[in-house]
A and B are shown apart, each in its own frame.
Chain A
Amino acid sequence: GENVEQHPSTLSVQEGDSAVIKCTYSDSASNYFPWYKQELGKRPQLIIDIRSNVGEKKDQRIAVTLNKTAKHFSLHITETQPEDSAVYFCAPGRGGATNKLIFGTGTLLAVQP
């Protein structure tokens, strides 16, 4: 089966600092690369996504960069705030946003005020 790994597994930053989480996947047919944020006991929320014809996408404090050749993509959060504290998952997939997604191992981000 496909392997989807995230690094680091835990990340603690000071408020205002930047955070970067990397996702490595094995399925070369993946063409959709989303990042989800999940708070304890809640559903995952899509925060940003990118498709294989684009190398980078930015939405305010959040950005995603894709290196399809190396099969990894990263989540970048700038000017972190305590409310950014959550578990973040990457979930690469084939066939776009409506096909099945394989979730990564997860990264617990703690933003210290």
Chain B
Amino acid sequence: DAGVIQSPRHEVTEMGQEVTLRCKPISGHDYLFWYRQTMMRGLELLIYFNNNVPIDDSGMPEDRFSAKMPNASFSTLKIQPSEPRDSAVYFCASSLPGRYGYTFGSGTRLTVV
């Protein structure tokens, strides 16, 4: 298996622009997670899905953030409009149910200027 695949690896955008981050989870994994990592706040869970259904989005910072999972093999995290404080590394992770831990993608480093 190729693991969790995220794209793009790097994104630089201007403040106010829409940003879409993409994730392909491991086939057969029922859970998908979006995390944000910054030096100040560490790893923060933004939202997670179970069987394509959003279960908990309480970590999504504002209405500017939205996430979708239209099918079992694809998810997006969208920021509209983007702001400089959104600059961070965004990780997608997937897992099987149970105590197996999560498999993380390589992340998308977002810079908003």
- B is a partner of A: no
What residues of chain B have their CB less than 8 Å away from a CB belonging to chain A?
none
What residues of chain A have their CB less than 8 Å away from a CB belonging to chain B?
none
